[in-house]
Chains A and B, each alone.
Chain A
Amino acid sequence: MSFWLVMLAGGLVTFLTRLSFIAAEGRFAVPAWFRATLPFVPVATLTAIIAPALVRTGGRWDLSPGNAQLVAGVVAIAVAAWRRNVLLTIVVGFAAFLLLRLVSPP
């Protein structure tokens, strides 16, 4: 029962976060310095999720070539930088990951 309350509260918090500036638009002046930070939001926030996912596996640092996440992640970054193609990046990155796991299972 209490987990349903957690989900409801979590959902409400998420919705209100997403609604915040959309609902407030026009009611107060958003400072120019704040507007200037917005272009960097997706890059900074998503990178903050990506980096630990590649370098830390099971709560530990792993910078060895045996870390399939790290190697496949670097491959995906290279493909993304080279072709700027979302589909190709995900497919090649996942193929590299599965191949590495096949070659050396954890």
Chain B
Amino acid sequence: MTGDPSPPRARELLGGAAAVAPLLVGVAPFGVMYGALALRSGIAPGAAMAMSSLVFAGSAQFVLAQLAGAGAPALVLVTTVALVNLRHALYSASVAPALAHLPRRWKAVLAYLLTDEAYAAAIARLGPGSAPGAHRHWFLFGAGFTLWASWQVSTAAGVLLGASLPASLQLDFALPLTFIAIVVPMIRSRAALAAALVSAAVALAGAGWPHNLGLLAAAVCGIAAGALLAARRAS
């Protein structure tokens, strides 16, 4: 895209879709597994499907289905979703400057579509230091909508196949795999490596903590480690 300061909408849209496409290979089996798990947890097929568009957050939906199956109270369910998805506030902060000029409706749509995968696919186009472009938000829309559509299809497949899918298949391993494919190429500095190592250590230490608090603590410690190391090297 160098030499063209403002690529047209269609090219941004297709660029976003193409950037997220490889991730779908991991997202699809996870979606199928979510659908099957939701049914096993006693969630009605219609509700299991509706969750994919109402909540639209893979790991949160998975945890929600597990907890609902275990009979956790409503307040714990909603709080867990909030904690598991708290990282999306930080995604929101990092794309916000690139979307500042957009009308409210656009901001709402893009916020709804701001998943881990869409963010990972689009951050190179919208994040700090990326090339400007009047239609960059179409890139995020292309990535986000492509992911949304495939999430609906794969979770529907999981709901339809339902009981015929044995839990021992463990297709849910596709989620950590997808995240590995996103994270590892991002580790290009000592600070990023420190963020990953500290986060992994705290996540393992806190794996048994209630309400997924280990996840939150790991994220905060990892981010702090990376930022502190980067600041020290810069000064």
Chain A residues at the B interface, C-beta cutoff of 8 Å: 2-11, 13-15, 17-26, 30, 33-56, 69, 72-73, 76-77, 80-81, 84-87, 89-91, 93-94, 97, 101, 105-106
Contacts and interface: CB of A to CB of B under 8 A. Distances in A.
A3 B50 CA distance: 11
B182 A10 contact: no
A23 B111 contact: yes
Nearest to B208: A59
Given A9-B74, A14-B82, 11 more contacts: A18-B89, A21-B93, A37-B90, A41-B219, A48-B202, A48-B222, A69-B176, A80-B184, A81-B187, A90-B174, A94-B174
A11 B54 contact: yes
A79 B204 CA distance: 23
B64 interface: yes
Q: Is the interface of A mostly helix, strand, loop or mixed?
A: helix
A35 B223 CA distance: 11
Interface of B: 22-23, 25-26, 29, 43, 47, 50-51, 54-57, 59-60, 64, 68, 74, 77-78, 81-82, 85-97, 99-100, 104, 107-108, 110-112, 114, 116, 119-120, 123, 128, 168, 170, 173-187, 191-192, 195-196, 198-204, 207, 214-215, 218-227, 230-231
B107 A6 contact: no
B107 A87 contact: no
